[in-house]
Amino acid sequence: MANYLITGAAGFIGSHVGLQLLGEGHVVTGIDNLNDYYDVQLKKDRLSRLQEHSQFSFEMIDISDRQPMETLFKEQQFDVVINLAAQPGVRYSLENPHAYINSNIVGFLNVLEGCRHSNVPHLVYASSSSVYGANTKLPFSTEDRVDHPVSLYAATKKSNELLAHSYSYTHGVPTSGLRFFTVYGPWGRPDMALFKFTDAIISGRPIEVYNHGKMKRDFTYIDDICEGITRIAAKPPSGKQAWSPEDGKASESSAPYRVYNIGNSETVELMTFIETLEKHLNVVGKKKFMEMQPGDVTATYADIEDFAEQFNYRPKISVDEGVKRFVEWYRAYYSK
């Protein structure tokens, strides 16, 4: 049994990870600011599922608020911190850039400082496939350079990796960064494509299909993501003594630092994804084809071989099965 802190515990991924850890018998403290970026009631309903467990406790804290974060780490000794709190969304970063700096940079610094001063044995944090930015070589590998982000959101996630390495190197904080690839499933975010498409199709509204549908994504089901996170959380990285910037892998270091891709390792065309959704809704949706949006990329595809080998991990849920499960949850939750 371990004592976990999950930031962003009322979020899509955070709530699922919390439930899995609680089911394994761990103690979980969750924090979240319950902001109104999307439906607050959905966040509260996710949180209520966690609060059914006696070994879960919740504090309403914004990770960008330094004082309550310092107090939290002083009052508790965590075995693992899983940082999933962030301002998400590529397109929203064009409208409200300050929210990304406050949460994804200032907030992450507060998490790092907490881990440093209370000697947390392992920090696991969310990065993103968006760090690959303008890269065109597929599949995306953690050994690829990621120096050309195409959105502020991507830049903040790359910054998280750089900040994490500096704390791993200077202060010995073991850190594992996870580059998520298009996570979807029940209790998902309303700003994500699957949720938006489902809501629009059921309501009879046209769905907005960007880049005229010529997009490909590595869609990863939430249960597969949770399995990966919990496996990594149990094994903090150690530095590689023989590692050097000239000869070593970009995802490793002489410090206790690692970065992994965590995806389905399969790329699916957007129109195929939409057709799968239409099949499970038993409705053909109206479509409004649109130009590529600023900050978007045409394709994502994860190379997960290093992760798979080290943790004996392979995603199990197909897109067809995952979309089916989402539709079943959506209809039940919204009574549609």
Residue 153 designated active-site:
yes
Contact (CB, 8 A) for 81 and 122: yes
| Phi-psi map region of 129: left, alpha, beta (phi>0 left; psi -120 to 50 alpha) | alpha
Q: How far apart are CA 138 and CA 178, in angstroms?
A: 18
Burial per residue of 220-248, b for 16 or more beta-carbon CB atoms within 10 angstroms, e otherwise: bbbbbbbbbbbebbeebbebbeeeeeeee
Burial per residue of 38-73, b for 16 or more beta-carbon CB atoms within 10 angstroms, e otherwise: beeebbeebbeebeeeeebebeebbbbeeeebeebb
Task: Write down how long the chain is.
Answer: 336
Q: Which of 153, 167, 210, 330 is catalytic?
A: 153
Residue 129 in tokens:
């496939």
Rounded to the nearest 10 degrees, how much is the dihedral formed by the CA atoms of 181, 101, 295, 226?
A: 10
Contact (CB, 8 A) for 43 and 11: yes
> Which residues are designated catalytic?
153
